[in-house]
Amino acid sequence: MSTHEAEMIQEPFILEAGQLPSGEPLYIRGEIRTLAGSGEASGAVRRPVLIICHGFKGFKDWGFFPYAARRFAEAGFYTVTFNFSCNGVAETDFDELDKFALNTYSREQQDLTYLLHALGIGELPRSEQADTGKVCLLGHSRGGGSSIVYAADHPDEISAVVTWNGIAKADLFDDAFKEQIAEQGVAYVANARTGQQMPIRASFYEDLKEQGERFDIVKRLAGLELPVLQVQGDQDSPRLREGFEALRLGAPQHGIASIQAGNHTFGAVHPFASTTPQLEEAIRVTLEFLKRS
């Protein structure tokens, strides 16, 4: 059975991910996509694992994520998409803003630890297909920064990292936003798509203050010895393009790929309408890199 003829499998999962200080439980909701393969029943098929990390105001079902995950699965990867436990999404668009307000980088790192542990002990669907000795992270935007930090903390668990328009600085906000949090304990960021005012509480900055060196993304990337590819759209925001340049200069040993006419989402929108030449190019260069790595 060829790759193109094999059956595509898509299965959901839910993992417990600790709890908030209030005692409220947290969950990681995700899906795996993989090809059935002729040796599945005996466990003979082992596919490299690709874990896709969404960014700020992102979620596993946003725009291009399901499409890209399917493309990577068709290429032979055991592909995992998931929602960080405090990304603000349970069933629909940002229906858990109380959790979104409490999200931190440390929480996302803990979520990745829960996810990798579940993968390692066979708790994810079709885990017999996953080659846990070949685990790659693909992070978009803030998810790119989180992927770099996790790989730097766990170099023996991760084989390669790819960032799509990844961040270079953990602090995403301007001085006025920080002043509002300092004065009121909460500030709000607008979601232009949904019209929501999304809260960020002081715990976000408390975490950065306590873990500042750990979340120095440029420094952590510079220290990474495993293969990394940074994919950057040349029409992304000036702040992110400047960050890409800082990452490139700070860690010149790692690979880069520029996507011509690519904006922050490579032209894709939500709800997903269709693929774009820029998204296809991002997928192509990522697949080439992962197969080499």
* pLDDT at site 2: 44
- Cis check: omega of the bond before 271, within 30 degrees of 0: yes
pTM: predicted TM-score of the whole model, two decimal places = 0.96
Cβ-Cβ contacts under 8 Å for 23 (sequence gap 6 or more) = none
Residue 227 DSSP symbol: -
214-268 pLDDT tens trace: 999 999 999 999 999 999 999 999 999 999 999 999 999 999 999 999 999 999 9
Q: How far apart are CA 27 and CA 25, in angstroms?
A: 7
Which portions of the chain are predicted below pLDDT 70?
Answer: 1-5, 38-44
**Residue 142 resides in a domain:** yes
**Residue 243 resides in a domain:** yes
**Residue 234 resides in a domain:** yes
CA atoms within 13 A on the CB side of 69: 30
50: phi then psi, degrees, rounded to nearest 5:
-125, 115
The parent domain of residue 234 ranges over: 8-170+214-292
**Residue 208 resides in a domain:** no
Label residue 156 exposed, middle or buried (CB < 10 Å: 0-12, 13-18, 19+). Answer: exposed
Q: Report which residue type is found at 238.
A: P
Structural domains in the chain (count): 1
* Angle of CA points 16, 88, 189, to nearest 5°: 150
**Residue 184 resides in a domain:** no
**Residue 183 resides in a domain:** no
**Residue 160 resides in a domain:** yes
Other beta carbons within 10 Å of 19: 11
The size of the chain, in residues, is: 293
* pLDDT at site 45: 79
158: which 2 tokens?
């991760």
The CATH number of the domain holding residue 156 is 3.40.50.1820
**Residue 65 resides in a domain:** yes
Q: How far apart are CA 126 and CA 148, in angstroms?
A: 27
Q: How far apart are CA 30 and CA 19, in angstroms?
A: 18
Closest Cα to residue 152, out of 209, 201, 218? 218
